[in-house]
């Protein structure tokens, strides 16, 4: 079993965290930049599932991210608010590019692979481990306590979020997950509480 976790950057010039996780929770992490690199790695690995930290769909009623209207939240976003989990709305400045890139990548990948949207910040909150904003070392220790192996000392916050995404992907395969949102938009997959 191979699961891929991707902490997608909004643009190809910034690092995207990439993690390959096996069923024994052995993690291999690195950074990639371009969509071409991401797709090439995925084709080589042939994972059972790909868990991506990026909005993979628009809110119902919005035709494009550039459209000017008052629809800013998806149902999964509303549910995050009810859970008191902080996030950036998809129509906020830099999130627009990330949303466009996420949707484009999902459409390319889902022709051959199972692709899910997740949010490592929410997953970390649910799993009661610190987010990267509290310090990379604290997040790393939290993931190690959950059984993740192979986390090196020089790992970046992008890679740690990719590890979290991969862990959520494994939980999905294990049928131990919480889907939130509207399937007509997208279901965000989180750890089961």
Q: What is the pLDDT of residues 134-165, one digit of tens each?
A: 989 999 999 999 999 999 777 899 999 999 99
pLDDT of amino acid 72 = 87
Residue 191, beta-bridge partner list: 177
Tell me the whole-structure pTM to 2 decimals: 0.95
Write the DSSP assignment of 63-101 as a string of letters.
Answer: S-TT--SS----HHHHHHHHTT-----TTSTTHHHHHHH
Q: Could you read off the pLDDT of 36-91 as tens digits, one per residue? A: 999 999 999 999 999 999 999 999 988 888 888 888 899 999 999 999 998 888 88
What residue ranges define each of the domains in the chain, with the CATH number in brackets?
Answer: 2-191 (3.30.420)
pLDDT of amino acid 70 = 84
């Amino acid at each position: 079993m191979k699961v891929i976790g991707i902490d997608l950057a909004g643009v190809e010039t910034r690092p995207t965290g990439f993690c390959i996780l096996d069923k024994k929770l052995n993690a291999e992490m690195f950074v990639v930049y371009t969509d071409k690199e991401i797709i090439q790695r995925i084709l080589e690995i042939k994972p059972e599932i790909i868990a991506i930290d990026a909005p993979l769909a628009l809110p119902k009623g919005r035709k494009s991210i550039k459209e000017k209207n008052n629809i800013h939240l998806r149902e999964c976003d509303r549910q995050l608010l009810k859970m008191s989990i902080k996030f950036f709305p998809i129509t906020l400045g830099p999130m627009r590019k990330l949303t466009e890139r996420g949707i484009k990548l999902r459409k390319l990948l889902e022709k051959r692979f199972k692709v899910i949207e997740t949010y490592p910040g929410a997953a970390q909150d649910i799993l009661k481990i610190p987010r990267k904003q509290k310090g990379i070392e604290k997040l790393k220790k939290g993931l190690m306590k959950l059984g993740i192996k192979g986390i090196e000392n020089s790992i970046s916050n992008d890679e740690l979020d990719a590890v979290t995404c991969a862990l959520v992907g494994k939980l999905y395969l294990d049928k131990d997950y919480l889907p939130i949102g509207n399937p007509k938009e997208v279901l965000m997959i989180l750890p089961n509480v």
